[in-house]
């Protein structure tokens, strides 16, 4: 409903601007009517325009009212200004213009072909008749501007400036028309109708307006240029609010070490010190060499990829819970550098693999070793976090599976299903871009680890031919997941679902892709490797974790006393990022590096309310922590505890999530639509006292997004 309301609002504003412009021109020209008859006709036309313009204006009001139906004021409070403008527009049209037009109609109802007398002409020139129509373009235009620029938290100034500009424009128009009408009534002279001249004047005003707007535009562009060196440990801090905390605001530029919200400051510690075990023999070791390689998909299509060990997806890293893992990364020839980030695995901060935050990018010829203990079990993935948008797109990723310490149940068929969309080669599961056939004996327990690597695309999956369970989300097992059938699964960018079932006698088909059952991409499992693709109709209901599975005890819940509470507002706005103009996606009204960091202390219980005011979904990914979903849109999560590291926040969604700050460091928190992250939709969670020797920016090798 949110998306519908927002779309209606936007469309009505646009329609208003266009219609208002046409009607405004007509209104200001009726004074040139030569005869009573023609004035009468034009007045009737304008009366019709009053009605026409009222439709989009009413739609603006209606759509904002629809938005207010959601209890969360952050979703709509600022749009009330747009509603107010539309209300003024309606008032002007019906209280000022309409009665005057009616009177002109009555005065001219004899429809004589004789020239207009002075009285009628001056009536037709009244500002109160003309300006409402012109306002019908300018008002919505202002609304449109506010729509795209208003930020949260709202600043009075941001709203006041466009409103003042609107008021000045209206006053100026009013004065022009007042002068015109008094010229008519004083001198009685007929106003010369010079349409070309009027057009010329209008163009002049447009050019002047653009010239004036150029200044702030240019300034905004300059201001958006990123500094050559940025330390992520410095910047604006948000201490949230909470039972034991006072909320502070801190000026830009302080470091986390210098400030503590209350009590003694934590002793400074560098991210480098927050490493996994540096000593000791590893239980599992891998070497991953990043290199460019042409890879071939099953259809024969080739892709110029960036790979780990010459393959993409990279080799599957498998380990058991509790094992000490050592991975050596070597960069052979990726010029922009590489790292490895263990997406979803809560490793110590120094092992997190974010260029410019926890390490320097590994440049060609260099290497870097990661060591950590695999503390969780489940499905994860790894990918480069240097130029991550390009790196992931080109193939620098792979699956990572942590089995329970005692291993998987005997005989389990365990398959990582990594979907990716390749530039120019389309969608594939691993290397397979068609139907893959798999032989599985009936009775075998099957676990499909669905991993969506794509930038920007929520991936749809359907399992046909067996009852199944979604037994884990984002690497965390669900409690008592129930049987599902005819349900489609949608996984957001970076998210993972584990699907389990027992192989029946008959074939089972996993369909992947939009309208998932297109029969073009999937895995057909059967006892003999043969079998027909099932015919699937419809999309099936879509799976929702909010009420799935059975509740279980958790260390905290929605009723716990939280040490800190943060608000994270996702929005879109038109503006600049690093000198480039475009649609931008903001976090609490800002783009990196101006996004305020969330400040916490070790041991705190932290609640965050995520609100998506924008028009597209954002898979929000917090590194180093798993958050428990408490509620969505006011509806408590009542099924299995639902822990997430990559949460798909749809337009209009309000999520309450909570996590324990138990992993000190500097942790990225960003949208996993990597295109969004690369244009500033990125911030971080920061433990008080943590410092980082690394920097990002043009003067460094580090460009994490």
Q: Is 494 in the site for ligand C2O (CB under 6 A)?
A: yes
Q: Least distance (Å) from ligand C2O to the CB of residue 374?
A: 17
Residue 677 structure tokens: 């992250």
CB nearer to ligand C2O: give 383 or 607: 383
Query: Residue from 236, 637, 673, 679 that binds Cu ion (CB under 5 A)?
Result: 673
Region binding Cu ion by CB under 5 A among candidate stretches 199-207, 376-384, 449-457, 581-589: 581-589
Residue 658 structure tokens: 């909570």
Number of CB atoms found within 10 A of residue 51's CB: 11
Residues 601-620 as x/- pattern, contact with Cu ion by CB under 5 A: -----------------x--
C-beta of residue 276 within 8 angstroms of C-beta of residue 346: no
CB nearer to ligand C2O: give 130 or 677: 677
Residue 393, classified by CB atoms within 10 Å of its CB into exposed (0-12), middle (13-18) or buried (19+), is buried
Cα separation, 666 vs 358, whole angstroms: 8
Residue 424, classified by CB atoms within 10 Å of its CB into exposed (0-12), middle (13-18) or buried (19+), is exposed
Q: Least distance (Å) from ligand C2O to the CB of residue 645?
A: 9
Q: Is 177 in the site for ligand C2O (CB under 6 A)?
A: no
Q: Which of residues 420-479 bind Cu ion (CB under 5 A)?
A: none
Query: Residue from 180, 371, 383, 601 that binds ligand C2O (CB under 6 A)?
Result: 383
Region binding ligand C2O by CB under 6 A among candidate stretches 100-108, 539-547, 649-657, 665-673: 665-673
Q: Is 293 in the site for ligand C2O (CB under 6 A)?
A: no
- Identify what 673 binds: Cu ion, ligand C2O, none; CB under 5 to 8 Å per kind: Cu ion
Q: Is 341 in the site for ligand C2O (CB under 6 A)?
A: yes
Dihedral angle computed from the Cα positions of residues 251, 254, 260 and 261, in that order, rounded to the nearest 10 degrees:
10
Residues 668-687 as x/- pattern, contact with ligand C2O by CB under 6 A: x-x-x---------------
- Identify what 684 binds: Cu ion, ligand C2O, none; CB under 5 to 8 Å per kind: none
C-beta of residue 675 within 8 angstroms of C-beta of residue 456: yes
CB nearer to ligand C2O: give 100 or 676: 676
Region binding Cu ion by CB under 5 A among candidate stretches 171-179, 486-494, 523-531, 583-591: 583-591
C-beta of residue 542 within 8 angstroms of C-beta of residue 487: yes
Region binding ligand C2O by CB under 6 A among candidate stretches 175-183, 308-316, 568-576, 666-674: 666-674
Residue number with the shortest CB distance to ligand C2O?
Answer: 343
- Identify what 494 binds: Cu ion, ligand C2O, none; CB under 5 to 8 Å per kind: ligand C2O
Q: Is 385 in the site for ligand C2O (CB under 6 A)?
A: yes
Q: Is 671 in the site for Cu ion (CB under 5 A)?
A: yes
Q: Considering only CA atoms, which of 280, 383, 382 is closest in space to residue 326? A: 280
Q: If DSSP codes are grouped into helix, strand and coil, which group holds residue 56?
A: helix
Dihedral angle computed from the Cα positions of residues 607, 613, 615 and 617, in that order, rounded to the nearest 10 degrees:
0
**Torsional class of 38: left (φ above 0), alpha (ψ -120 to 50), beta (otherwise):** alpha
C-beta of residue 356 within 8 angstroms of C-beta of residue 702: yes
**Alpha helices (H) along 345-489:** 388-394
Cα separation, 169 vs 163, whole angstroms: 10
C-beta of residue 68 within 8 angstroms of C-beta of residue 76: yes
Phi, psi of 86 (to 5 degrees): -65, -35
C-beta of residue 688 within 8 angstroms of C-beta of residue 653: no
- Identify what 447 binds: ligand C2O, Cu ion, none; CB under 5 to 8 Å per kind: none
- Identify what 98 binds: Cu ion, ligand C2O, none; CB under 5 to 8 Å per kind: none
Q: Is 42 in the site for ligand C2O (CB under 6 A)?
A: no
CB nearer to Cu ion: give 526 or 673: 673
Q: Which of residues 618-647 bind ligand C2O (CB under 6 A)?
A: 621, 623
- For residue 249, CA distances in Å to 202, 231, 261, 490, 599 come to 47, 19, 9, 39, 11
CB nearer to Cu ion: give 389 or 618: 618
Residues making contact with Cu ion (CB under 5 A): 585, 618, 671, 673, 676
For ligand C2O, the binding residues (CB under 6 A) are 341, 343, 383, 385, 494, 621, 623, 668, 670, 672
């Amino acid at each position: 409903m949110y998306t519908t309301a927002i779309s209606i609002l936007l469309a009505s504003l646009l329609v208003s601007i266009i219609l208002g412009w046409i009607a405004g021109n007509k209104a200001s020209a009726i004074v040139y009517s030569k005869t009573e008859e023609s004035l009468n006709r034009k007045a009737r036309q304008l009366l019709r325009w009053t009605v026409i313009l009222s439709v989009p204006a009413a739609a603006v009001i209606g759509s904002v009212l629809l938005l207010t139906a959601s209890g969360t004021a952050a979703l709509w409070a600022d749009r009330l200004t747009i509603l107010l403008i539309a209300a003024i527009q309606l008032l002007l049209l019906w209280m000022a213009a309409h009665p005057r037009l009616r009177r002109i109609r009555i005065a001219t109802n004899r429809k004589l072909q004789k020239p207009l007398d002075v009285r009628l002409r001056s009536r037709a020139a009244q500002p109160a008749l003309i300006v409402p129509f012109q306002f019908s373009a300018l008002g919505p235009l202002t609304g449109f501007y506010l729509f795209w620029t208003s930020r949260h938290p709202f600043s009075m100034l941001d709203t006041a400036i466009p409103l003042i500009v609107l008021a000045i424009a209206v006053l100026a128009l009013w004065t022009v028309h007042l002068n015109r009408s008094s010229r008519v009534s004083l001198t009685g002279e007929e106003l010369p109708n010079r349409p070309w001249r009027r057009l010329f004047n209008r163009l002049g005003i447009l050019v002047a307006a653009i010239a004036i707007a150029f200044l702030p535009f240019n300034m905004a562009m300059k201001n958006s240029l990123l500094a050559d060196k940025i330390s992520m440990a410095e910047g604006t801090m948000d201490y949230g609010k909470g039972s034991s905390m006072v909320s502070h605001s801190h000026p830009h530029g302080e470091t986390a070490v210098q400030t503590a919200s209350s009590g003694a400051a934590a002793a400074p510690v560098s991210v480098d010190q927050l490493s996994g075990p540096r000593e000791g023999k590893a239980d599992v070791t891998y070497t991953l060499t990043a290199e460019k390689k042409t890879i071939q998909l099953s259809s024969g299509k080739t892709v110029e990829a960036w790979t780990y060990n010459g393959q993409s997806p990279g080799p599957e890293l498998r380990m058991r819970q509790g094992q000490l893992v050592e991975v050596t990364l070597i960069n052979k020839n990726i010029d922009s550098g590489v790292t490895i980030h263990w997406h979803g695995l809560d490793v110590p901060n120094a092992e997190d693999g974010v260029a410019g935050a926890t390490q320097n990018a590994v440049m060609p010829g260099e290497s870097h070793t990661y060591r950590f203990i695999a503390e969780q079990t489940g499905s994860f993935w790894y990918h480069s976090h240097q130029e991550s948008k390009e790196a992931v797109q080109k193939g620098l990723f792979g699956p990572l599976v942590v089995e329970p310490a005692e291993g998987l149940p005997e005989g389990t068929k365990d398959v990582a299903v990594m979907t990716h969309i390749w530039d120019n080669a389309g969608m594939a599961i691993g290397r397979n871009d068609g139907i893959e056939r798999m032989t599985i004996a009936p009775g075998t327990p099957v676990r499909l680890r669905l991993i969506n690597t794509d930038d920007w695309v929520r991936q749809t999956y359907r399992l046909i031919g067996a009852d199944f369970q979604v037994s884990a989300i984002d690497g965390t097992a669900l409690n008592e997941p129930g049987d599902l059938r005819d349900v489609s699964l949608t996984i957001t960018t970076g998210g993972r679902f584990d699907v389990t079932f027992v192989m029946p006698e008959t074939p089972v088909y996993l369909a992947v892709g939009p309208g998932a059952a297109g029969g073009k991409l999937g895995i057909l499992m059967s006892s003999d490797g043969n079998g027909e693709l099932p015919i699937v109709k419809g999309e099936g209901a879509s799976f929702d974790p909010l009420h799935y599975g059975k509740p279980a005890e958790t260390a905290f819940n929605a009723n716990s006393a939280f040490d800190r509470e943060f608000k994270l507002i996702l929005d879109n706005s038109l503006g600049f990022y690093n000198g480039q103009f475009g649609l931008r996606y903001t976090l609490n009204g800002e783009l990196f590096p101006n996004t305020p960091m969330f400040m916490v202390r070790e041991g705190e219980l932290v609640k965050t309310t995520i609100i998506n005011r924008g028009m597209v979904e954002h898979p929000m990914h917090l590194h180093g922590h798993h958050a428990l979903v408490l509620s969505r849109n006011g509806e408590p999560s009542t099924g299995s505890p639902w822990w997430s590291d990559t949460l798909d926040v749809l337009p209009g969604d309000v999520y309450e999530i909570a996590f324990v700050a138990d992993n000190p460091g500097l942790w990225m928190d960003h949208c996993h639509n990597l295109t969004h992250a690369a244009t500033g939709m990125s911030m971080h969670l920061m433990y008080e006292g943590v410092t980082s020797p690394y920097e990002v920016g043009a003067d460094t090798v580090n460009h994490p997004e």
